[in-house]
Each structure stands twice: as C-alpha cells, then as structure tokens.
Structure 1
Amino acid sequence: MLLLVLNLVVSAVLTGLIWFVQIVHYPLFLKIPATAFKDFQMQHMHTTTQVVSVPMLVELLLSIGLLTATYPGKSTFTHYCVFVCIVIIWLVTFFISVPIHNQLVLLGYNESLIKQLVTTNWLRTFAWTLRTLLLLYILTRYLEFYK
C-alpha cells in the first residue's frame, strides 16, 4: 500500500506542476523579449532540470516497483496503463520537449517553436493527469478490497 500511496503522491505533485507549466509558464515564453530570450531559456532549462529531474526519476522507479508488485485484487491491465503513461511522458520529454528547448537556446526567440512546445506539452499533461487518475482508481479499489 505504501508503494501505491507514494506513486500517487509523486504523480499528483508532478501533475500539478505540468498543469502550471502548460497553462502559465510555457505560454509566457511568448512574452519574453527576443533580446533576453536565450539567457532566459538557458536559465529555464537549468533550473527546471534541478526541480524535476529527481521527482521524475523517483516516479519512474516507483512506477516500476508498482508494476512488478503483487497483491490481491491487483488489476494488471490498469497497472500497465499507469506504466505506459510514464513511458509516454519520458518519450515526449526527451524526444520532443528537450529538442525544442535546445533549438530555442540555439535560435533564440522563435514563436513557432514556442507554440510547438505548448502544443506538444499537452501530451505530457494528459499522460500525467491520466496516470494520477488511474492511481487514484487503483488506490480506491485496493481500499475496497481490504474493507
């Protein structure tokens, strides 16, 4: 049960963070003056990495633990769906989001790239939200099973 609760807590925190990034932070990139954008982007990448790298790694490890854990009433399909969400998040992060951020460092302010960043980030926002909802569902079923 502890593994399940830890998964839910970390996922919920990262879900809240990604919604902030999606609705507030990334759209504000369009308001940064072009002359300051490269410095802003480098600082953004550095500080964001410091904030999210450890929680994302912890989330990945917890997700693997949950996938491999055995307990009565476990829905293997739902657990696989939770893990697929992590895979989607990591693939989008490292094969879409990070390359766009790297291009923004090289090119500076680029409205098209910023809009692409906002649009493609919906994939991560959806995956994290779905993961949190699925974990909440799993926890609810677990608690019902042990009534």
Structure 2
Amino acid sequence: MTWIMTGLIWFVQIVHYPMFARVGRDEFTTYEQIHQQRTTWVVLPAMSIELGTGLWLLIQPPDGVPFIWLLINFALLIGIWGSTFLLQVPHHRQLQAGFDREAHLRLTRSNWLRTALWSVRGVLLLVLLLHAHS
C-alpha cells in the first residue's frame, strides 16, 4: 500500500497539482470540489490501511527488525497524516472558493513534505522487509 501511495503522491506533486493552474477560473470551483471528493475515495482507505498496519507492526513487531525502525515508521505515518490535515486540507478548502495563485503555490510547496515522508517510508519498509526474519 505504501508504494502505491508513494507513486500516487509523486504523480500528484509533479503532474496533478501543477495542472490546477490550467483548469480555468470559471470551472475551478467545481473542479476542486470533484477533485476532493474523488481523491478522498482513493486515498482515505489507503491511508487508513497504512495507519492500521503501522500500528500493528508496533503491537506485533516482526523478528529481526529493530523496534526503533518501527517507531520511525509510525512517526512518518503521523507526519503524513499531520501534513495532510494541517497543511494540504486547509489549502484545498481555501481553493474551494475559487482559484487563488498563492493558495495553489502553498498547496504545491507544502505537499513536498508528504512526498518526502512517503518516499522515506517506502524505502524504510523495504529495509524492514529485508531484515524481517533474517
């Protein structure tokens, strides 16, 4: 699930968010509303699964994996959720009123944090997988 979300966040960062500026002012409010609804259908279940499995790893740590790595993994998840609800969601809410260049820039720039966190988490999970039961 994490690598799906990592790929998705890179797509959003490089392709999707930059294209917001090309939607057109007249259509943007409707576009933003539809974007939020449909994106939530995709990302909320995936993010919830990630959070659940991250918590499960803390409760049932696999053999051969240092517990600190599991704590770092969970901290990355908290960072992703925090960034989502404290940074990106408020920017999207501001954009619901209509396209605003500054809000769009803040959204795109702040999303680099999630992009980095998911990327680091993806690499960490590969390392965890290699160390489990070894």
d(CA) in 2 for partners of 1:81 and 1:92? 16
Deviation for aligned residue 1:48: 0.4
- Aligned residue among 51, 63, 79 for 1:72: 63
Deviation for aligned residue 1:67: 1.6
Deviation for aligned residue 1:76: 1.0
Matches within 5 A, 1:1-147: 10-106=1-97, 108-142=98-132, 145=134
d(CA) in 2 for partners of 1:113 and 1:25? 15
1:8-56 Cα offsets, whole Å, 9 max, x none, are: xx10000000000000000000111011110100010011011111111
Query: Structure 2: which amino acid aligns with 1:44?
Result: H
Runs of 4+ in 1 over 3 A off after TM superposition: none
- TM score, norm. by length of structure 2: 0.96
Gaps in structure 1 of 5+ consecutive residues: 1-9
d(CA) in 2 for partners of 1:84 and 1:70? 15
Q: Which residue of 2 aligns with 1:3?
A: none
Q: Which residue of 2 aligns with 1:6?
A: none
CA RMSD of aligned residues (A): 1.0
1:67-98 Cα offsets, whole Å, 9 max, x none, are: 22134322111111111110000001011101
- TM score, norm. by length of structure 1: 0.88
Gaps in structure 2 of 5+ consecutive residues: none
d(CA) in 2 for partners of 1:138 and 1:73? 9
State the percentage of identical aligned residues. Answer: 37
